[in-house]
Structure 1
Amino acid sequence: MVKMTGAEMLLECFKKERVSQIFGYPGGVVLPIFDALYKDPSLSVVLTRHEQGAVHAAEGYARTTGEVGVVLVTSGPGATNTVTGIADANMDSIPLVVVTGQVPTKMIGNDAFQEADIVGISRSCTKHNYLVRDISELPRIMKEAFYIARSGRPGPVLVDIPKDVIVDRAEFRYPETLALRGYNPTVHGNRWQIRKAAGLIAKAKKPVLYVGGGVIASDSHAELAELVALTKIPVTLTLMGLGAFPGNDPLFMGMLGMHGTYAANMAVHHSDLLIAVGVRFDDRVTGKISEFSPHSKVIHIDIDPTSIRKNFRVDVPVVGDARLILSDLLEDVRKIQEEEGLPDLSEWNDRISGWKEEHPLTYRHDTEVIKPQFVIEKAFDLTGGDCIVSTDVGQHQMWTAQFFKFLRPRTWLTSGGLGTMGYGFPAAIGAQRAHPKARVIAVTGEGSFMMNIQEMATVASMEIPVKIVVLNNKYLGMVRQWQEFFYGGRYSSSFVGQSPDFVKLAEAFGVAGFRATRTGEVEDVLLKGLSTKGPVLMEFMVDPEENVFPMVPAGGSNVEMIFEAPAASSGKSPRSSRKEKDSVITA
């Protein structure tokens, strides 16, 4: 058998795992790997302009395909620059394999040039990580890395490869099977627990399906839709779950939580059965935990046993793959329907419809100043939702979640758990590389866009046709909103002020740029930008004082929803749905 270098072995491992795209940035230690890539055109490399951008791009690729995203960077600062992206992927359960270079084995611990203990640094934010100490271990470790990244609750795995391992030679033997002691994710749910869940569904008068990103990760959206069609149970989605159920379905209540809809939050509060699927009861969803769904029994379906009862009480836990569990649950619920019938939920759904009418998502339309919600709605209208949308973090993220109707899974990319500014644009690059014929739109704010603006060079040089929508309000918008509400209008370091001329900057990168300053220009700019070939930047100068509503203050109950800004001049506190139900903002 012909001997291979560690670099050549690594590429063979990638091929065994069906990798076609690698996102990365070269450096001294990994030059042998990039040299091997130069000789092997079967693996495509996307050269981002920063290692953080490479990880977010790999996240976008993984999120839209369901495959493992792959990152390749050098040692020292190359490795440490990946940490934010790795932490982001870990929080949001995105499968990645991040390969970092390392100084030669004998030099580890000597503070050699561009040495960093990336295994130690990343231990708390990876699902698992490895330091390869011998070339003979490399094939096994890579096999394990991909398996761990994609199985169970997905997540990032880091593999650190020293320079001597990269250049050493050995025979290549890729393992056919794996046996990882102590790591055997439960896939099939307990049938007794599933029957108990079906029994609760058969008795519930006010059930709610509370669904998260786990349904997308497990590709169980079809089973979810079938369960809803059978039972007529209304659905609310988390930020990470958007797209798991069609956003235009009458039984969809919208997103729940801090910036969720009134209908979703009220339904969860008054529910007698909460069916939680692929969620982790995040604090931005639950608000004050003691007042979250206080009257309900709780079914929790999740592949990660550590997520069950971690944050919230559960009556019927079911550990396993959501698709398989929902399939079994459907079978049991159908039997109950045939033998006994299911509850009539028309009265419950009528009540929810009343909540939708009482406090709909709304904003002022009759103004020349561009409202950001209008841009989002118009983007949906012009595309019919037939696109992949990514966002950065902040007000624009919430407006997109609220006003863009996501119709299919894997069309929504955002940073949920970590809330990473700078995520959206590179994530869109990864999505576009995964789906070259799809329309990919990156919605961002001027603050977030500046975090990874260097990736404009990536889209320009590789002609990646991402369409960038910059909602420019000259503020760190969500920071400003919190300062307005809770810090007496003291806008400390939230006013961005003089941003670059983004249109001119786009043109300097070789990207087409357009701008709208009035409401009447929005549709024309969107039409022009969406129809222009190649990457495009569209800047919209939006109302700098527009806020995201509804809003639940951090730590507050989800039924205490703020619908308008505080009256600063009178010193009044923001009004809430509990104290004054007529406070919904329509301006």
Structure 2
Amino acid sequence: MQLNGSQIVLECLKEQGVDTIFGYPGGSILNIYDELYKQSDDFLHIRTSHEQGAAHAADGYARSTGKVGVCFATSGPGATNLVTGIATAYMDSVPMVAITCNVNLPLLGKDTFQEADIAGITMPITKHGYIVKDVRELADTLRKAFKIASTGRPGPVIVDITKDVTAKSCEFKKIKKVADKSAIKTYTDDNINVTIKMLKAAKRPFIYVGGGAIISGASKEVLEFAEKFDCPVCDTLMGKGAFDGTHPLYTGMIGMHGTKASNYGVSECDLLVTLGARFSDRVTGNTKTFASKAKILQIDIDAAEINKNIRTSYSIVGDLKEVLSEINAKLDQMDHTEWKEKINGYKEKFPLSYQTDKLTCPYIIETLYKLTQGDAIISTDVGQHQMWTAQYYKFRKPRTFLTSGGLGTMGYGLGACIGAKVGNPDKVCVNITGDGCFRMNMQELATASGYGLPIVEIIINNRVLGMVRQWQTLFYEKHYSQTVFEDKVDYCMVAKALGCEAVRITKKEEVEPALKKALGSKVPVVLDCVIEEDDKVFPMVPAGASISEAFDASDIEGEK
């Protein structure tokens, strides 16, 4: 049948099972939006307040559902406004297809009004990028884009289409999407057998779980492996929820703001089993001393991550769910009671703690957990509140924690929360942000209110850029350069002006009633939680130091 380019785009989205799009219209993409108008019964389109919000929403939708997120933008500034969201998705391996439209083909490369080489601009931050200049290539290009975005190590793909292609017609043949079974097994039985020998030889093993465990859907296998191996488990920021945060084997997050139990345990173990993690600098600290007493076994789907940051003793390249299934089938029940007792001693001696005589972010997060019992999707922005959330909210299930781990994108959380709510309408969705991050994309509250999305936005308001100030306090002689907000912005008034309910919290006793009301609301609610400006996230490892050098407030007091 003969279809024009705009019709082909939407037909290909239907083939891929897409029914939700986040975007913002403009001149070059107008043909597609006109066709979307005609097919509005087939798609839910969420028009965000800014294209960056659309990218973050598509990201949050993808992370929380496991589907490919889709966003639309027009040419020039519309497309470039997606860049930060695309980079965020790339760093955290999130499947996304960004569809942009450019100027007409004869006008490309002539500095035409609202022209930008978005495929070139995003080349370093996408798995692949396409410029479609021929309508006959459009369908196959879109199909390839979705396959690339969702297979192997996932990531964003951009498809830029010239405007004339969206108007021209060609023959289109529908195809039925089938499960991709073409993946080649990248490991052997010998790899599994060598791994089993390493596991059996270990006396002080530790399991380190990253975001790959969530992407591969391996949570069940990770749990079975940890219990069979009888081994302590730590996780990364991206791995939160892959392993139950209430399980007795769980020791907390590892790294710069990880628990002392995890950091000390990994520093003393003789085998570190790395599951779907890439040895980020925020995890390893000084790479020369990281897990220096241990053999390192790494299992990851991306061969490029093997020996990139840390030299391994042995590695398996493959899908974590499949690899662990084979390991679990061959691994006998093991017993590491003595080692576990030592790690439990660290957990008892060095628990996470905070001041209980005042309103703090950890108290707010613990109260949120108590009210939700972990049955919520939590997004965050980046900074102190992000680390407190990772420390004090017990994530029990995968795809319940959405945060920018690799790029560290301030302004990510609200869009991601909107995407999560759209993809999971029956779930409680909460974004925890700082006042600095809230300013980045607070206009997306208008998106939430406009579409009647009952999300909860918790602002941890200390009137400073908290994490930067913490570093200035500890390492820059309290030179608070440009980190204090001395303006008169009223976040509750902003929230109400954007169509949301808002409550200001200044005392501990106000937290639970406000949270209960917000969680039960049918409209978006903003909670402006005013805390002290000098609260700090502990434990902490100085940049470049060994993770065994983690310190907290008591260590600082002891030095005085």
TM-score bracket relative to the smaller structure: over 0.9
Residue 545 of structure 1 pairs with residue 543 of structure 2: no
User: Which residue does 1:570 correspond to in 2?
Assistant: none
Match of 1:227 in 2: 225
Partner of 1:254: 252
Spell out, residue by residue over 1:204-223, the C-alpha distance to the aligned partner (whole angstroms, 9 max, x if none).
11111100000000000001
Q: Give SS of 1:289's match.
A: coil
Do the aligned residues in 1 keep the contact of 2:24 with 2:74 (CA within 8 Å)? yes
1:185 CA displacement = 5.9
Distance in 2 separating the partners of 1:505 and 1:318: 51
Describe the SS at the equivalent of 1:317.
strand
| Structure 1, unaligned runs of 5 or more | 566-573
The match for 1:425 among 394, 411, 414 is 414
Q: Secondary structure at the match of 1:520?
A: helix
- 1:255 & 1:14 partners in 2: Cα distance? 38
Q: How far 1:176 sits from its partner (Å)?
A: 6.3
Alignment of 1:385-400 (within 5 A): 385-400=374-389
How far has the Cα of 1:173 moved from its partner?
2.4
Picking from 511, 524, 536, the partner of 2:525 is 536
| Cα deviation, residue 366, structure 1 | 2.0
Alignment check: 8 A CA contact 2:267 2:291 kept: yes
What is the identity, as a one-letter code, of the residue corresponding to 1:244? Answer: A
Deviation by residue 1:433-464 (Cα, 9 ceiling, x = unmatched):
00111100000011101101110110011001
Distance in 2, matches of 1:191 and 1:484, equals: 53
SS of residue matched to 2:549? coil
Say whether residues 1:302 and 2:300 are aligned partners. Answer: yes
Question: 2:177 and 2:420 mapped to 1: Cα distance?
Answer: 31
Superimposed CA distance per residue, residues 132-159 of structure 1 (whole angstroms, 9 cap, x where no aligned partner): 1100101110110000000010000000
CA–CA distance in 1 between the matches of 2:442 and 2:536? 25
Paired amino acid for 2:49: R
**Is 1:212–1:238's contact at 8 Å kept on the other side of the alignment?**
yes
Instruction: Deviation per CA, 1:441-496: give whole Å up to 9, x if none.
Output: 00001110110111011001100111111110000000000000110001000002
Name the CA shift for 1:187/1:63 in 2 (closer, same or farther; >3 Å): farther
The answer for the alignment partner of 1:358 in structure 2 is: 349
Deviation, 1:16, is 0.2
- State whether structure 2 residue 204 is matched by structure 1 residue 206: yes
C-alpha distance after superposition, 1:340-362 (max 9, x if no partner): xx3x2111110001111111100
CA distance in 2, matches of 1:199, 1:499: 63
Q: 1:403-440: CA deviations, max 9, x gaps? A: 00001000000000000000001000000000111100
Quote how far apart the aligned CAs of 1:187 are: 4.7
CA shift, 1:86, in A, is 0.5
Q: Compute the displacement of 1:91 (Å).
A: 0.3
- State the partner residue of 2:151: 151
SS at match of 1:376: helix
- Kindly state the Cα deviation for residue 189 of structure 1 after the two structures are TM-superposed: 3.1
Aligned partner of 2:284 in structure 1 is 286
Distance 1:39 1:45 in 2: 13
Secondary structure of the equivalent of 1:311? coil
Partners in 1 of 2:508 and 2:487 — Cα distance? Answer: 22
Residue of structure 2 in register with 1:22 after alignment? 21
Amino acid at match of 2:150: R
Partner of 1:190: 188
**SS across alignment from 2:288:** helix
| C-alpha contact (below 8 Å) 2:454/2:521 kept by paired residues | no
Letter aligned with residue 79 of structure 1: A
Question: TM-score, length-normalised on structure 1?
Answer: 0.93
Shift, 1:497, TM fit:
2.4
- Distance in 2 (CA, whole Å) between partners of 1:186 and 1:544 is 53
Distance 1:490 1:116, change over 3 A: same
Of residues 507, 513, 516, the one that matches 1:524 is: 513
- 2:31 is aligned to 32
**Number of residue equivalences:** 558
Taking only the aligned residue pairs, the percentage that are identical comes to 47
1:177 Cα deviation (Å)? 8.5
When structure 1 is superposed on structure 2, of 89-98 and 169-178 the one drifting more is 169-178
The AA in structure 2 aligned to 1:357 is E
Amino acid at match of 1:355: Y
Residue 193 of structure 1 and its aligned partner are, at CA, apart by: 1.3
How far apart, CA to CA, are the structure 2 residues paired with 1:328 and 1:418? 34
CA drift of 1:175 comes to 5.8
Alignment of 1:125-524 (within 5 A): 125-174=125-174, 186-334=184-332, 337=333, 342=334, 344-367=335-358, 370-498=359-487, 500-524=489-513
Per-residue CA deviation, residues 215-234 of structure 1 (Å, 9 max, x unaligned), is 00000000111111212111
Letter paired with 1:104? N
Q: Is the 8 A contact 1:139 1:175 kept in 2?
A: no
Tell me if the contact between 2:98 and 2:156 (Cα under 8 Å) persists in the aligned partners: yes
Structure 2 CA distance for aligned equivalents of residues 189 and 402 of structure 1: 35
RMSD: 1.7
* Contact 1:152–1:187 (CA under 8 A) maintained in structure 2: no
TM-score, structure 2 as length reference: 0.97
Q: Secondary structure at the match of 1:469?
A: strand
User: Which whole-Å deviations, capped at 9, do the CAs of 1:356-381 have from their partners, x for residues lacking one?
Assistant: 111110011123xx111100111101
Mapped to 2, the partners of 1:552 and 1:243 lie a distance apart of 23
1:15 aligned partner, one-letter code: K
Q: Which amino acid in structure 2 is aligned with residue 366 of structure 1?
A: D
1:285-307 deviations in whole A, cap 9, x for unaligned? 00000110001111110000000
Q: Secondary structure at the match of 2:298?
A: strand
Which amino acid in 1 is paired with 2:479?
A: R
Contiguous gaps of at least 5 residues in structure 2: none
Q: Which moved more, 1:434-443 or 1:527-536?
A: 527-536
Q: Distance in 1 between matches of 2:285 and 2:92?
A: 19
| Offset at residue 499 of structure 1 (A) | 5.1
* 1:6 counterpart residue number: 5
Gap change, CA 1:186 and 1:552, over 3 Å in 2: farther
CA contact (8 A) 2:15 2:177 kept: no
In the aligned structure 1, how far is the partner of 2:498 from the partner of 2:445? Answer: 6
Answer yes or no: is the 8 Å Cα contact 1:421–1:448 preserved in 2.
yes
| Deviation of 1:190 (Å) | 2.6
What secondary structure, in the 3-state scheme, does the structure 2 residue paired with 1:240 have? coil
Opposite residue 458 of structure 2, the aligned amino acid is V
